[in-house]
């Protein structure tokens, strides 16, 4: 076992032999969008993202499904079709699954991937002098929450849905070509929570530049209207002691940084030389430099 319970990361990593490391993860979520196909696709993309954060490729997945008995069959079929299409786009296959009755629908995947040992990436390998890059804008969590309360503009929701349906496969491949060592994906713990995990596991300080963090259109507007999901407050309670702010930020923007994301981007720490190689990659337009790694501990927002 290379990565397991003793080292919190995005997926478990088990070395099979000199050439193969098995990656295993599971994730499922309640509906965050109205369209069942989009929900299935996003939930699957969200679950598979853990494998990409570890540098791997998808082999197979099992459906994890909780359903109200009265849910129409057509809705279930569309949901499962969305998940299957996402897995197919990743080059994997759906190989089965499990379904239970529940009052609220939930869907996700148990995912199996593979990576060569030399290409395994973790959240514990950031080094002082590294540059931090992010592959997707933030803000889908607050946008989908605003949409659930019928307070979001349609264009903002469409942008968030499109971003959540983008697999992190190409971004991971580009990072691999840049020689990256340290990667995580930004999902349920929010950008500050996942950055705090990098800082703790790597024994470094992560410095995020607030003005350089990209956000989807509408996210900051809904933050000012205080349309946060409950998970934002839970994240703040869990990680506040690891985060400090060197610039004055309103409570709405601090909380926005703790807000959960779904199928978010990859947050990576790589050397300056690696950054130059990344800028030469096919996915260079996807990445934004958002901070740096220094000696110290915790996360500092500057």
pLDDT in tens, 8-29: 899 999 999 999 999 999 999 9
Whether residue 139 is found in the same domain as residue 84: no
Whether residue 135 is found in the same domain as residue 233: yes
Q: Which pLDDT belongs to residue 126?
A: 98
If one compares 7 and 207, the residue with the highest pLDDT of the two is 207
Mean pLDDT, rounded, for 178-203: 97
Confidence of residue 227 (pLDDT cuts 50, 70, 90): very high
Does pLDDT of 282 surpass 70? no
Mean pLDDT, rounded, for 224-249: 96
Maximum Cα–Cα distance across the chain:
56
Q: Residues near 5 by Cβ (< 8 Å), separated by ≥ 6?
A: none
Q: Which pLDDT belongs to residue 279?
A: 87
Percent of residues, the chain, with pLDDT higher than 90: 95
Beta bridge partners of 266: 185
Q: Which two tokens stand for residue 60?
A: 């197979």
If one compares 95 and 8, the residue with the highest pLDDT of the two is 95
Confidence of residue 284 (pLDDT cuts 50, 70, 90): low
Q: Is residue 33 part of a domain?
A: yes
Q: Is residue 23 part of a domain?
A: yes
Whether residue 167 is found in the same domain as residue 273: yes
Q: Which is nearest to 135 in space by CA: 257, 258, 288?
A: 288
Q: Which two tokens stand for residue 280?
A: 């030469």
Confidence of residue 210 (pLDDT cuts 50, 70, 90): very high
Q: Which pLDDT belongs to residue 7?
A: 84
For residue 80, the domain's CATH number is 3.30.1330.10
CB 44 within 8 A of CB 125: no
Q: Average pLDDT over the chain, rounded to whole? A: 96
Does pLDDT of 87 surpass 70? yes
Does pLDDT of 285 surpass 80? no
CB 246 within 8 A of CB 208: no
Mean pLDDT, rounded, for 237-255: 96
Q: Is residue 237 part of a domain?
A: yes
CB 294 within 8 A of CB 132: no
Whether residue 154 is found in the same domain as residue 270: yes
Q: Which pLDDT belongs to residue 160?
A: 98
What is the rounded end-to-end Cα distance, in angstroms, of the chain?
37
Mean pLDDT, rounded, for 82-107: 97
For residue 207, the domain's CATH number is 3.90.650.10
Range(s) of the domain holding residue 165: 131-301
Whether residue 196 is found in the same domain as residue 289: yes
* Residue owning tokens 């003005």: 211
Identify the burial level of 17 via C-beta atoms within 10 angstroms of its C-beta, where 0-12 means exposed, 13-18 middle and 19 or more buried.
exposed
- In the chain, the number of structural domains is 2
């Amino acid at each position: 076992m290379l990565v397991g319970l003793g080292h919190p990361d995005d997926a478990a990593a088990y070395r099979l032999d000199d050439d193969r490391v098995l990656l295993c993860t599971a994730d499922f979520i309640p509906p965050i969008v109205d369209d069942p196909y989009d929900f299935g696709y996003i939930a699957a993309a969200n679950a598979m993202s853990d494998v990409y954060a570890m540098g791997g490729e998808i082999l197979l997945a099992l459906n994890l499904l909780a359903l109200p008995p009265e849910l129409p069959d057509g809705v279930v079929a569309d949901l499962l079709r969305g998940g299957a299409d996402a897995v197919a786009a990743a080059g994997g296959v759906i190989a089965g699954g499990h379904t239970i009755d529940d009052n609220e629908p939930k869907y996700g995947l148990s995912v199996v991937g593979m990576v060569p040992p030399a290409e395994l990436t973790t959240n514990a390998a950031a080094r002082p002098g590294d540059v931090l890059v992010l592959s997707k804008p933030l803000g889908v969590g607050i946008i989908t929450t605003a949409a659930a309360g019928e307070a979001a503009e349609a264009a903002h929701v469409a942008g968030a849905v499109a971003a959540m349906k983008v697999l992190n496969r190409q971004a991971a491949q580009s990072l691999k070509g840049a020689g990256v060592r340290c990667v995580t994906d930004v999902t349920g713990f929010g950008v500050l929570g996942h950055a705090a995990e990098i800082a703790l596991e790597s024994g470094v300080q992560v410095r995020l530049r607030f003005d350089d963090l990209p956000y989807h259109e509408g996210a900051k507007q809904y933050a000012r209207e205080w349309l946060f999901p409950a998970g934002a407050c839970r994240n703040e309670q869990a990680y506040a002691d690891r985060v400090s702010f060197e610039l004055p930020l309103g409570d709405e923007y601090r909380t926005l940084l703790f807000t959960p994301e779904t199928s978010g981007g990859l947050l990576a720490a790589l050397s300056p030389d690696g950054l130059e190689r990344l800028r030469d990659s096919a996915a260079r337009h996807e990445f934004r430099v958002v901070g740096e790694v220094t000696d110290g501990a915790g996360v500092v927002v500057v």
